[in-house]
Amino acid sequence: MGHELDGQQIAFLVAPEGAEQVELTEPWEAVRKAGGSPHLVSTESGKIQAYNHLDKADTFAVDAIVSEVPSADFDALVLPGGVANPDNLRTDADAVRFISSFFTEGKPVAAICHAPWTLVEAGVLGGRTVTSYPSVRTDVTNAGGQWVDREVVVCTDGPNALITSRNPGDLPAFNNAIVREFAADKS
């Protein structure tokens, strides 16, 4: 990918159930290959259950519980999709605060598929151009975001870089954008 993340600590926030496996594993591997250190953060300890659409897939060990780890410990945030994953996260106050903190701290955030639902709940989309799975479009628009239909959108009109994509088919472009933007944000 050409950009080195040089040990950056990257949080991947997922609910105990419902993350789309490929939207977790492929960005995770892209971060790792670029020299970053990915960490699985969830609302509960133990393992999370990932899915391939509606079918159970693999489980993954949780590295940290969102209520016990500050966003200050991380350089960037990735929000995988899946329908149930962001729907569960947006009802967890600690998860919403964790996401909001990355915007307050000016750190890059990446969200794919249904994950912008959590950004809606965090109140961080006003004036931002984003994409998502089409069913999230109205929520994004109602939250003050400008929705576009593109494989990847990098919005820098705000306190931080915000990278969004529509679905698993966009993962190559999404992964390239997150590595590029996370590397550009190194201090």
This prediction has a pTM of 0.97
6 confidence band (pLDDT: 50, 70, 90): very high
75, pLDDT greater than 70? yes
pLDDT of residue 3: 54
Q: How many CA atoms lie within 13 A of 17 on its CB side?
A: 3
Residue of 48, 51, 50, 52 lying closest to 61 (CA atoms): 48
113 noted as active-site residue: yes
Q: What is the b/e burial string over 135-172, where b = at least 16 CB atoms within 10 angstroms of the residue's CB?
A: ebbebbeebebbbeeeebbbbeeeebbbbbbbbbebbe
Q: Give the residue-averaged pLDDT of 6-24.
A: 97
162 confidence band (pLDDT: 50, 70, 90): very high
pLDDT digits (tens, 9 = 90+) for 175-185: 999 999 999 87
Q: Residue ranges per domain, the chain?
A: 9-184
Nearest-angstrom CA–CA distance, 121 and 116: 9
CATH number of 9-184: 3.40.50.880
32, pLDDT greater than 90? yes
108, pLDDT greater than 60? yes
Name the catalytic one among 39, 53, 113, 155. 113
Residue of 92, 91, 170, 187 lying closest to 133 (CA atoms): 170
In the chain, % of residues over pLDDT 70:
97
Neighbours of 54 (CB within 10 A): 9
4, pLDDT greater than 90? no
Q: Give the residue-averaged pLDDT of 91-102.
A: 98
1, pLDDT greater than 50? no
Q: Give the residue-averaged pLDDT of 123-145.
A: 98
Q: Give the residue-averaged pLDDT of 140-147.
A: 98
53 noted as active-site residue: no
pLDDT of residue 185: 78
DSSP assignment of 25-60, as one string? HHHHHHHHHTT-EEEEEESSSSEEEEEETTEEEEEE
Name the catalytic one among 3, 39, 114, 155. 114
